[in-house]
Amino acid sequence: MDILLLSVIVLGGLGFIFAALLALAADYFRAAEDPRIVKILAILPGTNCGACGVAGCRAFAEKLAAAAGDVLVSGCVSGGVTVVQKLAELMGVAQPTDAHKKIAAVHCWAKVDQRQALARYSGVMTCQSANLVAGGGLMCRYGCLGYADCVLVCPFDAIKMEQGLPVVDPDRCTSCALCVAACPRQIIDIIPFTKRVIVACSSRDSGAVTRKNCPVGCIACKICEKEVPEIFKVIDNLARINYNKPGESGTECEVAINKCPTKCIVKL
């Protein structure tokens, strides 16, 4: 027999034997997987956004299954209330009391033509880059720069730019918070959507400076605090909303919305 052919047969036979042994070993030493992991994965949205704090949906499913009834059922923020409810039922735990819809809120509503320019920025057209160069050339050090970093990182197509401002679609937003991390000005945060009211400003400058820089900024007049003290507090020259108060802030805050002189308290 030709030596080359014999070599091929021998090597092929050895390869087959070793492959069979490896398959048998893999089957013998295989660790049994918790069957709940497959069920959890079927419930999760499968976006692998990482907003839960782990690498992806499978890692979250494994962590949840190992936790055996921990409050982690509310960890998948991108899945929303429906996913939390299904996970709570699967894991046999009570649904978390905070399992209500949340969305990203943009705390600046100054459109392009309302922003006072300090200089003309001509660098890399991203918010991260612009913020490093004299604040992007804007008088306000706290407002939106308008280069859409938040839009680019949103995996759900929930943000679009209108007149230089990011606008969040509440039906698409899953509160994954990737836009929060992407904004160098830190003007985006996650709020309970049931409240539907925000202070559309992030400036902590004095009222006089804010009025000079922006016609729709908070001037710390404290009218909102006087009208609805249980909801509003002015801290560091900026009105803040206490979202932990019971009830629908959208209803409770009407008087503050109507009396705000710069109209920076808005309903979503």
Q: Is 184 helix (H, G, I), strand (E, B) or coil?
A: coil
Q: What are phi and psi of 234, to 5 degrees?
A: -95, 115
Is 224 annotated to bind a ligand? Reply is no
DSSP 246: S
Is 179 annotated to bind a ligand? Reply is yes
The span from the CA of 101 to the CA of 16, in Å, is 56
Is 253 annotated to bind a ligand? Reply is no
Q: What are phi and psi of 6, to 5 degrees?
A: -60, -40
Is 221 annotated to bind a ligand? Reply is no
The partner residues of 266 in beta bridges, in order of sequence, read 198
Q: Is 178 helix (H, G, I), strand (E, B) or coil?
A: helix
Is 173 annotated to bind a ligand? Reply is yes
Is 108 annotated to bind a ligand? Reply is no
Is 264 annotated to bind a ligand? Reply is no
Other C-beta atoms closer than 10 Å to the C-beta of 133 total 13
Other C-beta atoms closer than 10 Å to the C-beta of 25 total 10
228, with CB counted inside 10 A (0-12, 13-18, 19+), is buried
192, with CB counted inside 10 A (0-12, 13-18, 19+), is middle
Is 260 annotated to bind a ligand? Reply is no
Is 127 annotated to bind a ligand? Reply is no
Binding-site entries for [4Fe-4S] cluster: 49, 52, 57, 76, 140, 144, 150, 154, 173, 176, 179, 183
Binding-site entries: 49, 52, 57, 76, 140, 144, 150, 154, 173, 176, 179, 183
